[in-house]
Structure 1
Amino acid sequence: MKKLLILAMCSGLVFTSCVSKKKYAELEAKQKNTQDLLNTATVKLNDCLAERAAASARAKELEERLADMKKTNADLIQSSKELTMLTSKGATNLEKSLESLKEKDLKITRLQDALNKKDSVTLALVTSLKREVGVNDPDIEVNVEKGVVYISLSDKVIFKSGSYQISNRASEILGKVAKVINGKPDFEAMVEGHTDNVPYSNGLLLDNWDLSVKRATAIVRELQKLGVAPSRLVAAGRADYVPLVPNTTAENRATNRRTRILVLPKIDQFYDMIEKEMKNLEAGGK
């Protein structure tokens, strides 16, 4: 009996031991599954927290951008108002500028007409001089320089070397020049004397300055004798300081020894012409 009891107790212990291991395995499996679920939940929680942080940062960024856009919109509205005011002022200023430009264009047109008229007179003057004086003589040149009509006479046509006494041929030529000048009462005549660079050594005069001026005054006196009003005559000496060619040869020095007679409009009349045009412009604008 005792052996049977001991056997029964051992069987019960074995049976009990087997049941515990099975439950333990089940519990262990459940615990592992629970741990896996917990790990998965933890990962998802971390992801959610990261997404929440990113969303918060994005929301803050959007709020800042919205604030900037509101400020930009307000600035644009203010700029639009200011631009409207500036545009209005600009339109007024532009209108004034256009009126000013019209006035200037009218002034330019009037002055251009006056210059065209002067050019026409200059052309007629050149034609008259060429017809009277002649253009086939190589020692006589009639031309226009910077809007000024001039007659250039070679030294050998008018004076002897080193002299300021006018030759007979010069008197004949100057008679024709005087005729043209007298036909243009609104013009003056300026006589320029030019020499070469050989120093004057006659003893009667100081230097080439004296010689060039003496030659100019000799021409002026001759034109006065021929009927040109002395108030319309100007005598000027340039000595050897405005050569046409280098004074390196006898031929070049002969070219530089010359007398120029410039026929030009009176300066005061030129200013009177401009003043008249300005007055006409002001009268037309009223």
Structure 2
Amino acid sequence: MKKFILALSAVAMLSASCGTKKKLAECESKNKEIQDLLNSATVKLNSCLSDKETLAAQIEYLKKNNSDLINNMGNMTTLSTKGAQNIEKALESMKEKDVKINRLQDALTKKDSVTFALVSSLKKEVGITDPDIQVNVEKGVVFISIADKLLFKSGSYVVSDRAKEVLAKVAKVVNSKPDFECMVEGHTDNVPYKSNGVLLDNWDLSVKRSTSIVRVLTELGVQPKQLIAAGRSEYVPLVDNNTSENRAINRRTRIVVLPKIDQFYDMIEKEMKNLSAK
């Protein structure tokens, strides 16, 4: 009987042991499944956390970029405003320069017109058929050059009668232009002047001839305040004084006609200074 009971107990214990092992296996399987799910969830969580960090960084970048864009837009607006102001100032400056340039051109045109009218008048009155009388424009200045042989005898400063006929025509033009001035320049060759006690050298001779012409012009009605006497001696020759013909060319009296257009010159000088300052 005892043996039977022991056998039953052994069978019961074996059955219990088998049930426990089965449950244990089921638990281990379930635990592995849960562990796998946990691992998978952990991986996904880490991935999500990484994505979150990346997204957060992108958001910060976009915020900063947006802020920079807003600032740049503000700067661009400021720059655009300044640019528009600079363009407007540049246009105003260009307009001012255009006005000044037009004024300069008008002044120069008027000066050229005065010069042309003066040359035409002198050529008409004085005549240019005589090769010993020349009416020209030199550096914007009108002048009449009269050969020495028409005016004076050799070494003399007494004006000849023929010269007075030419000077009368010059005086007629000058008298019709009270705003003109005339500078009479005496020129000699380089042959030394033989002093006669009154004149010492070619300087004296050139100046004395100039003052003689001035006196004739005043006798012909030209206002003395319009006349300037000047002597250049031998120092402004037209050609080399190496032949008698060349020396004859250099012996001359030049009457420089100067219209009083100081206002034009003053304006031109002023405007040129303004343009340079700009």
TM bucket (normalised to shorter chain) is 0.5 to 0.7
1:257 and 2:265 aligned: no
CA contact (8 A) 2:119 2:135 kept: yes
Give 3-state SS (helix, strand or coil) of 1:248's partner.
coil
Deviation by residue 1:118-161 (Cα, 9 ceiling, x = unmatched): 21221121111111111110100001111111100001010111
Instruction: Give 1:62's aligned residue.
Output: none
Instruction: Give 1:132's aligned residue.
Output: 125
Instruction: Give 2:112's aligned residue.
Output: 119
Matches within 5 A, 1:45-124: 82=75, 84-124=77-117
Q: How well do the aligned residues superpose, as a CA RMSD in angstroms?
A: 2.9
Q: Distance in 1 between matches of 2:80 and 2:107?
A: 40
Give 3-state SS (helix, strand or coil) of 1:211's partner.
helix
Q: Distance in 2 between matches of 1:77 and 1:200?
A: 91
1:184 and 2:177 aligned: yes
1:193 and 2:192 aligned: no
Instruction: Give 1:162's aligned residue.
Output: 155
Percentage identity across aligned positions? 70
Relative to the length of structure 1, the TM-score reads 0.65
Instruction: Give 1:57's aligned residue.
Output: none
Aligned counterpart for 1:235 among listed residues 229, 246, 249: 229
Amino acid at match of 2:192: P
The Cα shift of 1:245 comes to 0.5
Deviation by residue 1:240-283 (Cα, 9 ceiling, x = unmatched): 111110111111111011111111122544457x39x98xxxxx
Q: Distance in 2 between matches of 1:150 and 1:73?
A: 78
> CA, structure 1 residues 84+239, in 2 after alignment: closer, same or farther (shift >3 Å)?
farther
> Which runs of no fewer than 5 residues in structure 2 stay unpaired?
1-60, 272-278
1:223 and 2:217 aligned: yes
CA contact (8 A) 1:149 1:262 kept: yes
List, as ranges, runs of 4+ consecutive aligned residues in structure 1 with deviation greater than 2 Å.
71-88, 267-272
Instruction: Give 1:149's aligned residue.
Output: 142
Q: Which moved more, 1:238-247 or 1:75-84?
A: 75-84
Give 3-state SS (helix, strand or coil) of 1:238's partner.
strand
Amino acid at match of 1:222: V
Instruction: Give 1:63's aligned residue.
Output: none
Q: Distance in 1 between matches of 2:144 and 2:66?
A: 77
CA contact (8 A) 2:218 2:224 kept: yes
CA contact (8 A) 2:182 2:256 kept: yes
CA contact (8 A) 1:162 1:202 kept: no
Relative to the length of structure 2, the TM-score reads 0.67
